[in-house]
Amino acid sequence: MTPATRDFYPEIEPHSTELLDVGDGQQLYVECSGNPDGKPAVFVHGGPGGGTSPAVRRFFDPAAYRIVVFDQRGCGQSVPHVADAVGGSNGTAGVLETNTTSNLIADMERIREHLGIERWLVFGGSWGSTLSLAYAQAHPARVTELVLRGIFLLRRSEIDWYYNDGASHIYPDAWEGYLAPLAPADRGPSVDKVTAYHRLLHSPDPEVATAAAIAWTTWEKSTSYLINTPEKTAGAEDPRYALAFARIENHYFVNHGFLDEGQLLRDVGRIARIPGVIVQGRYDVVCPARSAWDLHRAWPAAELHIVPDAGHASFEPGIRTRLLEATDRFRTR
């Protein structure tokens, strides 16, 4: 039975914000809100390259949680921002070359240590679930619980499904927009479109790069909700946002996420004793339910909730409700 839907906690403002130097010329935007003496929880955003928004604070009871939110390298309010880089060894490539999964894990540890946190709840969806799993497997003693949504294990089959043809059978109209920037020779089913997009996103012609970034970002925003509306795709046409989102995502995908194939399932034993909740939309096209099921089978201690009337987005009512139930349950552990 689908539970009655829950609304978010009220809007709140952070009580501290800063740019934290994590090395490599990178400064990460970090904010804390809620109860300074509460249970620590860190929100791990998606993309990679998606950045955060004030709304994500509302997944946590502000009276119970010390809510830590940060923007990963190259996006959001962190600096340098990928959209501000212009080619060359000190430009886009220079900003992206240190943007790796292992460095993001190290960044999370720097944030935790800087804030004087011993252990924290880790909350992430989509790519945020990938990074949350990778972090927890690297530092299981630092994680009290995992709350994960829209599971993405960064396996080749998942990339091929969404970026190389599978999802086109469900969204053929949006797929045409995704194919539009590509040369005709790069549109066929046998072509790796992630590689083709990589060339466009790093074109020396800023108009070419921006058009490709907007098309890539629009594809994801147009397929994230069970029922999509123009308001839900808003922001995809913002060049600054789209360039960071598309370039960073694509950078990770052409590099296989800097993970071994199947690594997150292979190493799931490292988190076997960490309590977890997995929330998955039944009709998630971006990160289909197969991955959530595979993770649950490998990690049976984690609860799996498949929401019957939802797609990918964390803000859909059924997914939002299950996530709030999870953070409410864990606030007193």
In DSSP notation, 168-213 reads: GGT-HHHHHHHHTTS-GGG-STTS-HHHHHHHHHT-SSHHHHHHHH
From the list 71, 168, 312, 314, the catalytic residue is 312
From the list 126, 132, 222, 291, the catalytic residue is 126
pLDDT in tens, 87-107: 433 455 668 999 999 999 999
Closest CA to 157 of 294, 317, 20: 294
**Which pLDDT belongs to residue 88?**
38
pLDDT in tens, 115-134: 999 999 999 999 999 999 99
pLDDT in tens, 265-323: 999 999 999 999 999 999 999 999 999 999 999 999 999 999 999 999 999 999 999 99
Work out the average pLDDT over 44-64. Answer: 97
> Is pLDDT of 1 > 50?
no
- Degrees to nearest 5, angle at CA 298 with 296 and 303: 25
Work out the average pLDDT over 31-55. Answer: 97
Positive or negative, the CA dihedral 263, 168, 179, 313 is: negative
* Mean pLDDT over the full length of the chain: 95
Q: How many residues are listed for the chain in this entry?
A: 333
> Is pLDDT of 69 > 90?
yes
* 45 is annotated as an active-site residue: no
From the list 168, 284, 291, 314, the catalytic residue is 284
Which residues make Cβ contacts (< 8 Å) with residue 96, sequence separation at least 6?
A: 74, 82, 247, 248, 251
**Which pLDDT belongs to residue 84?**
87
* 114 is annotated as an active-site residue: no
> Is pLDDT of 86 > 60?
no
* 61 is annotated as an active-site residue: no
Percent of the chain past pLDDT 90, that is, above it, reads: 90
3-state secondary structure at position 95: helix
Closest CA to 71 of 103, 27, 109, 41: 27
d(CA 283, CA 131): 23
> Is pLDDT of 191 > 60?
yes
Which pTM value belongs to this model? 0.96
d(CA 84, CA 106): 24
**Which pLDDT belongs to residue 2?**
52
Q: 23 pairs with which residues across the strands?
A: 26
Which of the 8 DSSP states describes residue 311? Answer: -
Domains and CATH numbers, the chain: 16-86+98-155+258-330 (3.40.50.1820), 158-257 (no CATH)
